[in-house]
Chain A
Amino acid sequence: AQSVAQPEDQVNVAEGNPLTVKCTYSVSGNPYLFWYVQYPNRGLQFLLKYITGDNLVKGSYGFEAEFNKSQTSFHLKKPSALVSDSALYFCAAYNTDKLIFGTGTRLQVFP
């Protein structure tokens, strides 16, 4: 079965430190991968996507993600976290006309 896994329910990081939110996928064929962010009482906002090409994808708000085919991973990263980055982050894979989402990781950035 196609699936996306986010192994951490919550990630805590101090402001100014680098952050990583992990994602692994199990999708047949070439994966098309996405990261979305959800702020309280808001819908999901697109951050970035990987379709093909360079394994390092740059997205909105200084976020980037690294695609690793051998490890079937697509981890979200940011060199220096901000308190305003605190939100719920979803990894997703596109498969046969629908997005399959991970369960989400809550990122908490402390001042």
Chain B
Amino acid sequence: KAGVTQTPRYLIKTRGQQVTLSCSPISGHRSVSWYQQTPGQGLQFLFEYFSETQRNKGNFPGRFSGRQFSNSRSEMNVSTLELGDSALYLCASSSATTDLNEQFFGPGTRLTVL
């Protein structure tokens, strides 16, 4: 089985711009979660989608949004970028028939905001 893929792997944007990141889960997985990883804050949960519905959300401003398509692929959008949004954004998928299934992580998208 192919693993979780994320595109692009690297991205450079300037303040005020917006960005869209993409995540393709493992085939058959219906849950996709997004995390932000920074040196100062560590790994923080952004949101989770299951069957095209946002099932859970972390404590991030409304500039961070996401969606999931019928094929379980997910996108994350950040509008009005700030310098502090520079981070590694990780996507994880799971079969999630229960909450206890392990999550499989993609390699991440490294976003740099100048």
Contact = CB atoms under 8 A, between A and B. Distances in A.
A interface SS class: strand
Interface in A80-111: 90, 94, 96-104
Contacts of B35: 101
A97 B42 contact: no
Contact of B99 (A42, A94, A101, A102): A94
B57 to A, nearest CB: 9
Interface string B18-47: 000000000000000101000000111100
A51 interface: yes
B107 A41 contact: yes
B42 A102 contact: yes
A103 B55 CA distance: 24
Contacts of B106: 43
Given A94-B100, A97-B99, A45 B43 contact: no
A46 B43 CA distance: 15
B4 interface: yes
A98 B56 CA distance: 7
Contacts of B4: 43
B103 A46 contact: yes
A49 interface: yes
B87 interface: no
A90 B42 CA distance: 9
Contacts of A14: none
Contact of B103 (A99, A103, A104): A99
Given A97-B55, A97-B56, A101-B43, A42 B107 contact: yes
12 contacts: A42-B107, A43-B92, A44-B105, A46-B104, A90-B42, A97-B56, A98-B33, A98-B45, A99-B33, A99-B103, A100-B45, A101-B44
Given A98-B58, A99-B33, A102-B42, 5 more contacts: A44-B92, A46-B102, A97-B55, A100-B45, A104-B42
* The 4 residue pairs across chains A and B that have the minimum distance between CB atoms: A43-B105, A101-B43, A97-B56, A103-B42
